[in-house]
Amino acid sequence: MKDRPALSDLTRRQTLAGLSIASMLPLTLSACARADGPDIAPDAPWDEVIAAARGQTVNWAAWAGDPKINAYIAWTGAVLRKRFDIAVRHIKTGDTANTVQTLLADKASGRAAGGRTDLVWINGENFNAARKAGLLWGPFAQRLPHWRLVDTEGKPATVSDFTIPIEGYESPWGMAQLTFFYDSARGTMPPRSVPAMLDWAAAHPGRMAYPAPPDFVGIAFVKQALLELITDRSVLYRPFADAEFAAHTRPLWAFLDALHPHLWRKGRAYPHDYRALRQLLEDREVDIAMSFNPSEAATAVAGGFLPPSSRSYILDGGTIQNCHFVAIPFNAAAKAAAMVTANFLLSPEAQARKADTKVWGDPTVLDPAKLSAEDRARFAALAAPQPIGGGEAKGLLEPHPSWQVKLAEAWRARYAS
């Protein structure tokens, strides 16, 4: 999910190629600067943070592409208003890169205070770009009281975002893993590895699809294929080298070239995003769908969108797993309230509600062994069926963010031109 959207092509080229921040200045700014709240340090005593946060408004830039996520953010705001006198304003975005652009423009113009964004849903290449440009405030994450409950050992993606150490500049919020799902009542046994997908698709023409990159699920599928097909996976965990890119990706393009003619619409068109792909499954135009939420199928069944016979699964060799986070911009006007919000998002109460398939179904970042018996019972009562094939135990770490950018550009040049 899950900052679910990736950088736009233009932002990728400008930010990651190291062009000057000043080149971002033509950006249209949608809001005026605000007055800062009481000054607070990332390591301030927590009671001082709570006191400074009262009466502040948190402008939270977060992807708004899913009604259930929007509803969860609204619930968060209602709780924070009641308990801490904090108002939460959801700045609904379609692409986190737009927030990064706004922060770049602020940085270039010297707007070091009174920023229009106090919290941002972020991960992966957007975090890498923002961190390199000095756009984030901190380190604050390890200072949050609920940080002690995070499963930093069992879920290493909570402390390393696409191989980039978070170093306290973003706080984990939820887990994600590439998960496949299908209707078991239709009698079609799905492929359990990337190479097996080619034979399956050839035997079931038109019954498989994947979203077009740079959609985050579409590019995840491409990365998953590369992870399974490349000879040496270790090269994916360091910045890609132009001189070696063609050689390392040759098996990937050979696989996709062979696969595409057997896909939905013979590979001449692709679903726009994972929701469009799920709609194809609901309409029985395809037999397999995929998502970055392991609970996607269970949530869709609970909502009446998919039949109870729907099942999810992880590929036998594992699938890409990552964590999504919230971060505080360098010039946030309500830093204290943003910290309180991030801490609440890590609470067992908020994490359990988010994990409920009737609410969202987003997996927790917490370690059950660190929870009280009462809080463990919260999660036990909400436990959704685990994907067949091992679930989170077979999570594969995300490659370095530079690979995502390059792969998306190469895919579009090869298949979308």
Q: Specify the residue for token string 């496949």.
A: 180
Based on the fold, state whether residues 79 and 128 are members of the same structural domain.
yes
Based on the fold, state whether residues 153 and 195 are members of the same structural domain.
no
Q: With 80 as the cut, is the pLDDT of residue 417 above it?
A: no
CATH number, residue 348: 3.40.190.10
Q: Would residue 391 count as lying in a domain?
A: no
Based on the fold, state whether residues 193 and 139 are members of the same structural domain.
no
Based on the fold, state whether residues 301 and 411 are members of the same structural domain.
yes
The pLDDT, as a whole number, for residue 195 is 97
Q: How confident is the model at residue 384 (pLDDT cuts 50, 70, 90)?
A: low
Q: With 90 as the cut, is the pLDDT of residue 160 above it?
A: yes
Q: Over the Cα atoms of the chain, what is R_g? A: 21
Q: With 90 as the cut, is the pLDDT of residue 150 above it?
A: yes
Based on the fold, state whether residues 289 and 407 are members of the same structural domain.
yes
As a whole number of angstroms, the distance between CA 220 and CA 264 comes to 19
Mean pLDDT, range 19-37, rounded to an integer: 46
> With the C-alpha atoms ordered 156, 160, 163, 167, is the resulting torsion angle positive or negative?
negative
Closest by CA position to 121, among listed 83, 72, 79: 72
Based on the fold, state whether residues 265 and 403 are members of the same structural domain.
yes
pLDDT tens digits, 320-346 = 999 999 999 999 999 999 999 999 999
Q: With 70 as the cut, is the pLDDT of residue 18 above it?
A: no
Q: With 60 as the cut, is the pLDDT of residue 354 above it?
A: yes
Based on the fold, state whether residues 14 and 153 are members of the same structural domain.
yes
Q: How far is CA 224 from CA 179, 202, 320, 357, 407, in A?
A: 11, 20, 6, 25, 12
Mean pLDDT, range 198-215, rounded to an integer: 96
The pLDDT, as a whole number, for residue 392 is 45
Based on the fold, state whether residues 407 and 273 are members of the same structural domain.
yes
pLDDT tens digits, 109-148 = 999 999 999 999 999 999 999 999 999 999 999 999 999 9
Domain that residue 369 falls in: 9-158+166-172+325-385
As a whole number of angstroms, the distance between CA 317 and CA 99 comes to 36
Based on the fold, state whether residues 103 and 15 are members of the same structural domain.
yes
Q: With 60 as the cut, is the pLDDT of residue 368 above it?
A: yes
Q: Would residue 2 count as lying in a domain?
A: no
The pLDDT, as a whole number, for residue 59 is 98
Q: How confident is the model at residue 296 (pLDDT cuts 50, 70, 90)?
A: confident
DSSP string, 51-106: HHHTT-EEEEEEE---HHHHHHHHHHHHHHHHHH--EEEEEEES-HHHHHHHHHHH
Looking at every residue in the chain, the average pLDDT score rounds to 89
Based on the fold, state whether residues 115 and 204 are members of the same structural domain.
no
The pLDDT, as a whole number, for residue 14 is 36
10 Å CB burial of residue 53 (0-12, 13-18, 19+) is buried
The pLDDT, as a whole number, for residue 39 is 81
The pLDDT, as a whole number, for residue 21 is 34
- Token digits of residue 81: 């208003």
Based on the fold, state whether residues 263 and 409 are members of the same structural domain.
yes
Number of residues that this document lists for the chain: 417
Number of domains in the chain: 2
Based on the fold, state whether residues 31 and 43 are members of the same structural domain.
yes
The pLDDT, as a whole number, for residue 12 is 38
3 state DSSP class of 342: helix
Mean pLDDT, range 212-231, rounded to an integer: 96
Residues in contact with 10: Cβ distance below 8 Å, sequence separation at least 6, in sequence order:
none
